[in-house]
Amino acid sequence: MRFEVSKVLDAIEQRLTTDPALARAVVDLAEVVRYADLDGGRPASLLRLGLVVDALATQLAEDNAAVYAVVHRGLLSDADLTSNERMVVRRWADDGLVEVLPTVGDRVLEVADLLGLPVLSRLRFEGVRERYGWLAGQAGRLMAPVPGKAGATLVAQVGGGSAPSIGSPDPVGAKVLARLWRCPESNCANFGGGGGAFADLAPERRAGGQPPPTLHTGSPTCPRHSKPLSDIGPRPPAEALAVRVGGVIRRRFVVAEDAPVVVGRAPEKGGIMLGQWLSEEARRWISRSHVRFEMRGSEVVAQDVSTNGTGVRPGGSMDDAERMTLKRQTRVLSPGDLIELYPGVHVGKARTLTSAAPLNAPSVMAEAPTLSMRILER
C-alpha cells in the first residue's frame, strides 16, 4: 500500500512545474486536496491532485500536461494529510516544484493572468471578477474539477464546455518574464537566493524556468518572502518544444542556452525518451539518440545524430515532395517546421503544435488502479 502510494506521488511529482513554458494550468493545492467527493475518502488527500491532473491531460488531449501549483504554507503541516504526504509536499516546496505562500490571496489568478493559463478551481472568485475580466469573459479559463466517470472531470464555470483554454503570456507577463529575478532571501526556492551573480543560479533556473514574480506591490516581488526582487539581467533565450506521437502531444521540453536536448528511442539521462510511445517498426528505425536540439542565439537548431537520418517537414507540410532529410546536418527551425523522426513521430515548437487525436490513457493514477478503493476501505 505504502509503496503504491509513493509511486503515484512520484508520478504526480513529474507533473508539477513552475516553469512558465511548461505549465498548462494553475491550481491551489490546499483547495484541491480537500475535494473529498472526488474519491469519497479522507478529508484531505494529496492523491486528488493526481485525479485533477489526469482530467487536465484528458481534456487537453495532452499526455504529461503539467500544473503550476500554488500552496498555502499551512498545508506543509496540515494534520489531515498523512505524515508521508506532508513530507512529500515539503520536498516539492524545497525543490521549487510548487510555489509556497504565507497567504494565497488571488495569486492563482495572477499567475493565470500573467501566463495566459486556465485556473482549475471550484471557487467563483466573485470579489475580484473586475480585476480579471477573463474569469467571466472567456470560456475554459475557469474550470471546476468535479466527480467524473473515473476520477475527476473539468467543467467550465462560464459558458459550459470541457476544453481548457490556453493563451500566451499577456504583455505585462511577457515583460517580467523577459528578465531574471533574484530574491534577497538566501534559501528562496523559486528566485535563486543570496547575493552572487547570474552564473551562480542552478542551470534549470537559468534555462528559463523561473516563475513569474508577483506584481501586486507595483514592482516585481517574491510571492513567498514578500521582498522586492532584483533584476539580474535578461532571461537567456529558450524555446519550448513538443513531441507529438500518433497525433497526441506526449511531452513538452525546454531547450535553453547551454542546455541542448537529445530526443530519441532511449537517449542518455536528460534526453527525451520516446520508446514507450513507439510501434515496433518505429523502435527499429529511430536511434537511441536521434536528433539534438540547441539554441544558437535566439534560434533553435536541430541536428541529426541518427543512423537513418531525420526528416524535416517545412512549415509542417505533409506533402512528401517537400520533405527533406538531414544526414548529420543541421536545420534552423522555423515556427511551423516539423522534425520527423519516423512517420507520425514529430517534434516542433510547442506554440505551433497541437494534439490532433484524443488521449486515451491518462496515467498518474495508473500505477495503482485499485488505489482509490483502498483509500475508501481505510
Q: Which residues bind Zn ion (CB under 5 A)?
A: 183, 185, 188, 191, 222, 224-225
Q: Please, what is the minimum distance in Å from the beta carbon of residue 222 to Zn ion?
A: 3
Ramachandran bin of 226, using left for φ above 0, alpha for ψ from -120 to 50, beta for the remaining angles: left
The β-bridge relationship of strands 310-313 and 324-326 is antiparallel
Grid coordinates representing 350?
A: 510547442
Choice between 157 and 214, CB closer to Zn ion: 214
Nearest distance from C-beta of residue 169 to Zn ion, angstroms: 21
**Which one, 191 or 253, has the nearer CB to Zn ion?**
191
Cell 476501505 found at: 377
Cβ-based nearer residue to Zn ion, 186 or 370: 186
Minimum separation from the CB atom of position 182 to Zn ion (A): 9
Which residue, 4 or 200, has its beta carbon nearer to Zn ion?
200
Distance in angstroms (rounded) separating the CA atoms of residues 374 and 261: 40
- Least Cβ distance, residue 37 to Zn ion (angstroms): 35
Q: CB-wise, 225 or 283, nearer to Zn ion?
A: 225
Nearer to Zn ion, 224 or 250 (CB): 224
Q: Are 24 and 65 in contact (CB under 8 A)?
A: yes
* Cα–Cα distance for residue pair 142/136, rounded to 1 Å: 8
Q: Are 333 and 349 in contact (CB under 8 A)?
A: yes
CA distance 155 to 5: 27
Of 252, 258, 242, 262, the C-alpha closest to 204 is: 258
DSSP conformational letter for 337:
-
CB of 214 to Zn ion, least distance (A): 10
270-301 core/surface letters (b: 16 or more CB in 10 A; e: else): ebbbbeebbeeebeebbbbbbbbbbbeeeebb
Report, in Å, the least distance between residue 228 CB and Zn ion. Answer: 10
Closer to Zn ion by CB, 122 or 225: give it. Answer: 225
Cβ 185 to Zn ion, closest distance in Å?
4
